[in-house]
């Protein structure tokens, strides 16, 4: 049996040495579930199935979990330090906010696109306005040309 010695390691989360990329997929709310997130850590590890939820105190994140044979749920991803957990949770919450903002911008842009008249319609309206303007008589300087 081999022995492993645990080397003292600096707390990477406290030093913000972790590179965390978040991808959030908002969904139509189901009860308190608002979306799912995937986190990539240091371009080396991917953790899927974080759940973004809403509660009485605001948004919170459930860690990925599995159900055992007795029906109990257990987290399959467990940050060891509170700093690491807070770093991941805040990145997911910020990612959720950014995804919602992007969805709103997309909706607003699509609404504006459908509300604007077509170019052909705008040209026709402009031509009608030009036809309705009174015709001015030509002045002396214009008649001499």
Domain segments of the chain: what residues? 20-120
Do the Cβ atoms of 53 and 34 come closer than 8 Å?
Answer: yes
| Coil/strand/helix, residue 46 | strand
Residue range 5-15, pLDDT digits in tens: 444 445 544 55
- Residue with more model confidence, 89 or 2: 89
pLDDT number for residue 107: 85
What CATH architecture is 20-120?
2-Layer Sandwich (3.30)
Distances in whole angstroms, Cα of residue 33 to Cα of each of 42, 78, 94, 98, 140: 27, 20, 16, 17, 78
pTM: 0.67
What integer pLDDT is reported at residue 112 of this predicted model? 75
What is the per-residue pLDDT across 97-116, written as a single tens digit (0 to 9) for each?
A: 999 999 988 888 887 776 66
Is the predicted pLDDT of residue 68 greater than 90, yes or no?
Answer: yes
Question: Region 87-102: what's the mean pLDDT?
Answer: 94
Query: What pLDDT band is residue 121 in, cutting at 50, 70 and 90?
Result: low
Closest CA to 13 of 61, 63, 64, 85: 85
């Amino acid at each position: 049996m081999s022995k492993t010695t645990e080397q003292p390691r600096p707390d990477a989360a406290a030093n913000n040495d972790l590179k965390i990329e978040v991808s959030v997929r908002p969904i139509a709310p189901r009860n308190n579930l608002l979306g799912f997130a995937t986190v990539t850590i240091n371009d080396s590890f991917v953790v899927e199935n974080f759940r973004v939820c809403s509660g009485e105190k605001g948004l919170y994140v459930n860690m990925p979990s599995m159900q055992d044979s007795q029906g109990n749920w257990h987290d399959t991803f467990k940050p060891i330090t509170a700093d690491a957990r807070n770093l991941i949770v805040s990145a997911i919450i910020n990612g959720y906010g950014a995804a919602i903002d992007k969805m709103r911008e997309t909706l607003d842009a699509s609404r504006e696109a459908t509300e604007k008249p077509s170019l052909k319609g705008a040209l026709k309206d402009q031509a009608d306005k030009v036809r309705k303007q009174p015709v001015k008589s030509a002045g002396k300087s214009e008649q001499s040309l």
